[in-house]
Amino acid sequence: MSQPRPYKVALNGYGRIGRCVLRALFERGAAAGFEIVAINDLADMASVEYLTRFDSTHGRFPGEVTVDGDCLHINGNCVKVLRSATPEGIDWAALDIDLVLECSGAYHTREDGQRFLAAGAPRVLFSQPMASEADVDATIVYGVNQDCLSGDELLVSNASCTTNCGVPLLRLLDQAIGLEYVSITTIHSAMNDQPVIDAYHHEDLRRTRSAFQSVIPVSTGLARGIERLLPELAGRIQAKAVRVPTVNVSCLDITMQTVSDTDAAEVNRILREAATSGPLKGLLAYTELPHASCDFNHDPHSAIVDASQTRVSGPRLVNILAWFDNEWGFANRMLDVAGHYLQTAAPLSASNIQ
């Protein structure tokens, strides 16, 4: 389908993911096919400009960033900065956009999504999993199920960074050698819901502890998220997560009991071939080098298989390790899903949004 003009999008929320999405869009250049029209965030303009220009994890912005009133100029493009605490506080229709990229992480139900639509947003792509399957028209992991979009969806979720890493690998191996049971440990970098030094947390005693003094077990919805995308594995997946004292890049440690006998060489061959050809090329990477996590900072892949860590115990107990940049990789998938979503999107009418 031809694209006569760049798709116009607005960012709701300008934290870690929102800023990475904007930066990824500009780093991709004109080929990205998007124009960011507006950002909605409660931060003051000086902070918005400063954190766009300078990022402790991803470095300086590769372009010119200036401010003029409520306009954030990026390489000469004016991005209007809005400040509303609620979706209803913005006339989204007046922005003449094609899509809202919801990057605040604050909205998880269909009722939340309807608030954007009622305020004039044409469609919403969420940067987080929704509370249930019923709360969204589709949950997409790019490279796996984007072709299920019919064009009529108004509320779509980009799942999570961990789901984007795990689902392609599990589907690939399930199709190749069959999976009976799966156990996953997410080893995740610290996040902004953790304090630098001990402080109160509204729901989790462990997250009262300093992010940079401990490895901290946290809850995770990864198993549930995978089952939504791979229902054939429902009831056969368990997952847990720990946060570690690093600022970016995470990994999945995945243990699988397989249907077929296998060995490490076969598992690595399956993963290596998928990384070099087929639907996962460009999304899945494969390495045999002795890497550390910081080597994958600013890496756009959904998953990077560390072949040196593949283990097989007996004929059918397989363990693999896959790295992912939990910020940059996910932000790039937001753009991939947004592009595919809008290419398939049906023209909107009043009946679509009611």
What is the rounded average pLDDT of the residues 236-259? Answer: 99
Radius of gyration (C-alpha) of the chain in whole angstroms: 20
The pLDDT value given to residue 30 = 78
- Give the separation between CA 323 and CA 1, rounded to whole angstroms: 34
The pLDDT value given to residue 218 = 98
- Residue 296 and residue 177 share a domain: yes
The confidence band for 354, taking pLDDT boundaries of 50, 70 and 90, is: very low
- Residue 198 and residue 70 share a domain: no
- Residue 301 and residue 177 share a domain: yes
- Residue 49 and residue 117 share a domain: yes
The confidence band for 350, taking pLDDT boundaries of 50, 70 and 90, is: very low
The confidence band for 3, taking pLDDT boundaries of 50, 70 and 90, is: low
pLDDT at 102 over 90: yes
In a domain, 219, yes or no: yes
In a domain, 40, yes or no: yes
191-194: which pairs have CB atoms within 8 A and are 24 or more residues apart?
191/243, 192/15, 192/16, 194/243
In a domain, 141, yes or no: no
Instruction: Write the CATH number for 39.
Output: 3.40.50.720
- Give the separation between CA 65 and CA 73, rounded to whole angstroms: 6
Q: What is the mean pLDDT of the chain?
A: 96
In a domain, 349, yes or no: no
What is the rounded average pLDDT of the residues 206-219? Answer: 97
- Residue 25 and residue 105 share a domain: yes
- Give the separation between CA 119 and CA 310, rounded to whole angstroms: 50
Token readout for 303 is 């998953």
Residue 260 structural domain: 161-326
pLDDT at 349 over 80: no
Instruction: Write the CATH number for 312.
Output: 3.30.360.10
Token readout for 341 is 């979503």
In a domain, 81, yes or no: yes
- Which residues, including other chains, have CB under 8 Å from residue 178's CB and lie 6 or more apart? 258, 259, 260
pLDDT at 29 over 90: no
In a domain, 148, yes or no: no
- Give the separation between CA 348 and CA 153, rounded to whole angstroms: 10
- Give the separation between CA 169 and CA 177, rounded to whole angstroms: 12
In a domain, 143, yes or no: no
- Give the separation between CA 74 and CA 11, rounded to whole angstroms: 15
Residues facing residue 94 across a β-bridge: none
Token readout for 189 is 């970098």
The pLDDT value given to residue 1 = 47
pLDDT at 353 over 60: no
Q: Provide the greatest CA pair distance for the chain.
A: 65
Half-sphere exposure of 307 (CA within 13 A, CB side): 18
For the chain, the domain total comes to 2
Q: Which of 64-68, 154-158, 262-266, 348-352 has the lowest mean pLDDT?
A: 348-352
pLDDT at 174 over 50: yes
- Note whether 6 and 34 are within 8 A (CB): yes
The pLDDT value given to residue 100 = 99
In a domain, 342, yes or no: no
- Residue 227 and residue 119 share a domain: no
- Residue 188 and residue 40 share a domain: no
- Residue 321 and residue 176 share a domain: yes
Query: Which residues are known to be catalytic?
Result: 161
Token readout for 108 is 């998880």
- Residue 62 and residue 123 share a domain: yes
Q: Calculate ∠ Cα 143-146-151, nearest 5°.
A: 160
- Residue 171 and residue 318 share a domain: yes
- Residue 272 and residue 178 share a domain: yes
- Residue 175 and residue 302 share a domain: yes
Q: Could you tell me the pTM of the whole model?
A: 0.95
The pLDDT value given to residue 32 = 83
Interval 48-70: pLDDT, tens: 999 999 999 999 999 999 999 99
Q: What is the percentage of the chain residues whose pLDDT exceeds 90? A: 94
